[in-house]
Structure 1
């Protein structure tokens, strides 16, 4: 597996359809977490705030993987019933629109866990 150090390098290796979805997710996450920075962590794009990674995301062949850690999967279980999930993963199929409100709410939850908004 190729090792990524920069998000631009990660993006350059995506198929056009994957790139489109990942770019939308990237913009959504940065808008949902003002002041957050982008990083590569575990070889995936992620956003970090207050020294803590809030969420990760990655393109796969059949879906966009959204990795907000385990607690939001439990906290938002009722709103995630239409998605395949596991302990820290939400699989968002490419043939479905991104659940913008849900993603924003999960990011807000993670910001709260990370100690609030950057000052």
Structure 2
């Protein structure tokens, strides 16, 4: 990606309408989990913050959307994220398949809990 974006809205607006809808729903899902969430562009992708610290990143691509970082978790958590794990810290959701927003919510909650415990 060579473009630079000033805001998360600019970033999302750079995608085709169908992808914009998915990214907006990812954004809403994360915001429901993260109280008083902030947003910024970091590493040229959207980052959702709490108390000034990045909790989770999300991004759009040509054929998928992604969520980062994905923490390790217990067996139930690992079973939940396994079908979408693209690498140790990345979940990839293909655009041609329904996006599992419940998984995004669970991962966001897990990340928020981790950050809360380490703060």
TM-score by length of 2: 0.85
Structure 1 residue runs of 4+, over 4 Å off? none
Distance 1:35 1:90, change over 3 A: same
Matches within 5 A, 1:23-102: 23-67=24-68, 69-70=69-70, 72=71, 74-75=72-73, 76-102=77-103
Pairwise CA distance, 1:47: 0.4
Contact 1:33 1:111 in 2 (8 A): yes
Greater CA drift, 88-97 or 77-86 = 77-86
Aligned residues: 113
Unaligned runs of 5+ in 1: none
TM-score by length of 1: 0.85
Unaligned runs of 5+ in 2: none
Contact 1:84 1:91 in 2 (8 A): yes
RMSD over aligned CA atoms reads: 1.5
Structure 2: distance between partners of 1:57 and 1:31: 15
Contact 1:66 1:90 in 2 (8 A): yes
